[in-house]
Amino acid sequence: MENIALIESFSEFKDDKLIDRVTLMAILEDVFRNALKKKFGSDDNFDIIINPDKGDLEIWRNRIVVGDGEVEDDNQEISLTAAQRIEPDFEVGEDVSEEVKLIDLGRRSILALRQNLISKIHEHDNTNIYKQFKELEGEIYTAEVHHIRHRAIIMLDDEGNEIILPKDRQIPSDFFRKGENVRGVIESVELKGNKPAIVMSRTSPLFLEKLFESEIPEVFDGLISVKKVVRIPGEKAKVAVDSYDDRIDPVGACVGMKGSRIHGIVRELGNENIDVINYTNNVQLYITRALSPAKVTSIKLNEEGSRAEVMLRPEEVSKAIGRGGHNIRLAGQLTGFEIDVFREGVEEDVELTEFSDEIDSWIIEEFSKIGLDTAKSILEQDMADLVKRTDLEEETVSEVIKILKSEFED
């Protein structure tokens, strides 16, 4: 019964899918050698024979026979008398191999050895899991909701691996129930202590890019390339696509007949509004397409190539800016330009900052957030819409409009 603890350990771990036979034997030998070092001071003269399939274990200690009374190191040497008790014809100078029973290590050592074995196995498993998921960074993955917390959702995959979906990596409209399958992109994998921390994201632009790859065959096959993706998660996204084959319309292929192809992606992202545009090296044309659905009259680029002045008819301005300023913000991110909008035919206008004596700066900032930074840009809007798009009271908006109107009446 002396090796029952080790036999139980073998039976627990020998069929572990993450550990091959050679690796398991290496781990076992390492654990036993550590135990021998603690017991005898050195393991250099020990042979360990392991059969993990059966739970068999043999430990042999090799010592040199010396004359009686000449033993200086009990671990390396054995007296002639002691050697002849093992085999009567041993002589001085010969090597003696003697089997060490596990019980000789002591009960405490056996229990410690078993615990060390479990620890080493878990460490090996965690390293394998880390390597496995590190290779999956940036790829779409599916896991099941296991536990819902305030700041994160804890999920488990089919292998029982824990995956974290933090609150700030969830689309605002996301709502999950326990047992529900969730798709996202593996954003990061880190080893915290000996345990891998696997973080999933549904807000990353890469998630949308990978959804295009998985849902649209031409993207998957490389016939269409996704050049850039920008998102305001759950609200709006812009995707620039290109094709090296003139016979393929990249936008049409991605959207599909009546939006059939992109519908599943939109639904996955909580009805996020996705604009798909043709990529081009023609910067002015690219900016024009990025500002869709607004129709641009003309574009002027500054010499540094970082700012674009866009001229539009007054009725197109609100389309270019978009709800909450989303459209113009994403167009800027997609093209890499700071975009300034100007109204065609409007010669006299006044910057909103010119009214800082009469209008508080924080109110001016609220209008600026939605792309309204001149007097006429505000006066062209419906008051109810202004209240809805800003974080301002109706009375405040009304007072601002009154101040701005008086400027032009004068």
Distance CA 224, CA 39 (A): 66
Q: How far is CA 235 from the centre of its chain?
A: 21
C-alpha distance from residue 1 to each of 36, 107, 198, 271 (Å): 20, 12, 42, 65
pLDDT at residue 409, rounded to an integer: 66
CB-based burial, 241-280: b 16+ in 10 Å, e otherwise: bbbeeeeeebbebbbeeeeebbeebeebbbebbbbbbbbe
**Do residues 374 and 405 share a domain?**
yes
**Which of 225, 246, 279 is where one domain is finished?**
279
What is the C-alpha end-to-end distance of the chain, expressed in Å? 104
0.95 cut: is pTM over it? no
Residues 363-398: pLDDT tens digits? 988 888 887 888 888 888 888 888 888 878 889 989
pLDDT at residue number 268: 94
Asked which of 151, 181, 202 is the last residue of a domain, the reply is 202
Evaluate whether residue 226 is within a structural domain: yes
Q: Is 305 buried (19+), middle (13-18) or exposed (0-12) by CB count in 10 A?
A: exposed
Q: Tokens 């809805």 — which residue?
A: 388
The pLDDT, as a whole number, for residue 156 is 94
Ranges of residues in the chain whose predicted pLDDT is under 50: 1-5, 17
Q: Show which of 106, 131, 156 is a domain's final residue.
A: 131
How is the beta sheet containing 273-278 ordered, strand by strand?
224-232, 236-243, 273-278
Considering the domain architecture, whether residues 16 and 77 belong to the same structural domain is answered as yes
Residue 290 lies in a domain: no
Same domain, 109 and 145: no
Indicate whether 35 and 104 sit together in one domain: yes
Residues 204 and 171 sit within 8 Å (Cβ to Cβ): no
Kindly state whether residue 299 falls inside one of the protein's structural domains: no
Q: Are 184 and 176 in contact (CB under 8 A)?
A: no
At residue 1, the pLDDT reads 36
Mark whether 209 and 173 lie in a shared domain: no
Q: What is the pLDDT of residue 17?
A: 47
b/e 78-117 (16+ beta carbons within 10 angstroms → b) = bbbebbeeeeeebeeeeebeeebebeebeeebbebbbebb
Tokens 């700030």 sit on residue: 168
| pLDDT tens digits along 226-235 | 999 999 999 9
Same-domain pairing of 191 and 210: no
Q: Which domain covers residue 189, as residue numbers?
A: 136-202
Size of the chain, expressed as the number of residues it contains: 410
Domains: count for the chain: 4
pLDDT the model gives residue 66: 86
Cis preceding linkage at 88, omega within 30: no
| Chain mean position to CA 137 | 6
- CATH number where 29 lies: 3.30.1480.10
| Position 292 in a domain | no
- CATH code for the domain of 219: 3.30.300.20
